[in-house]
Amino acid sequence: ADRVHLLAVSKTFSAGDVLAVAACGQRDFGENYIQEGVDKITALAAHTPRLVWHCIGPIQSNKTKLVAEHFDWAHTVDRLKIAQRLSEQRPAHLPPLNICLQVNIDGGPTKAGVSPTDALALAQAVSALPRLVLRGLMTIPDPLENFDAQVAVHLQAKQLFDDLHAALALPQFDTLSMGMSADLEAAVQAGSTLVRVGTAVFGKR
């Protein structure tokens, strides 16, 4: 239980729904759509204890400023250009933005995420940016029905995470963001440290 963090994915749900889950003790919330996320972050800014907001949706160049100014984490960085913009636009009064690199662990060339072979080079470049802190990797494998098949894909991500952890030697590289409602048990078995769960917390979208 100490190794795995729960990220409650609140996309499409209201600020009031977030409050209901926060009342159960949940602190970390994930949003896919940046403007929708910013609206909830703003509405709930006075909440104590403070809520921690994770951007888990695609980040286009024209949205980096909103992410840098409002979120605590960004899980979907897969290009240096986006990371550079996030670092440049992170306000000085905020701590560095926590970053996970999205890795395309199982997919073809059209799927989002850096390829496993390019992940180390991107990680080295991102970890040098002053206003970011590189926390780990994130994956969204294609849905699989079979538990063992789910574990096998997640184990590939775990292996890559361990390889990068050893090569980078960064103390804060501690997060493997993988597992959603349909495959969180397999992800935890394979070594996930953070599961992103929407439907199984909030209900059907």
Build a one-symbol-per-residue string for 129-168: x at contacts with ligand PLP by CB under 6 A, - elsewhere.
Answer: -----------x----------------------------
CA distances from 57 to 48, 72, 128, 139 (A): 26, 14, 23, 12
Any contact of residue 41 with ligand PLP (CB under 6 A)? Answer: no
Question: Does 197 sit near ligand PLP (CB under 6 A)?
Answer: yes
Tell whether residue 12 is a contact of ligand PLP (CB under 6 A).
Answer: no
Cα–Cα dist 164/124, whole Å: 9
Give the closest residue to 144 by CA, choosing from 179, 195, 190.
179
Q: How many residues bind ligand PLP (CB under 6 A)?
A: 13
Q: Which of 21, 27, 32, 79 binds ligand PLP (CB under 6 A)?
A: 32
CB of 40 within 8 A of CB of 32? no
Using left for φ > 0, alpha for ψ between -120 and 50, and beta otherwise, residue 105 falls in alpha
Judged by CB under 6 A, does residue 9 bind ligand PLP? Answer: yes
Q: Which is nearer to ligand PLP, 7 or 129 (CB)?
A: 7
Distance, CA of 96 to CA of 170 (rounded, Å): 15
Residues that bind ligand PLP (CB under 6 A): 9, 11, 32, 56, 140, 180-182, 196-200
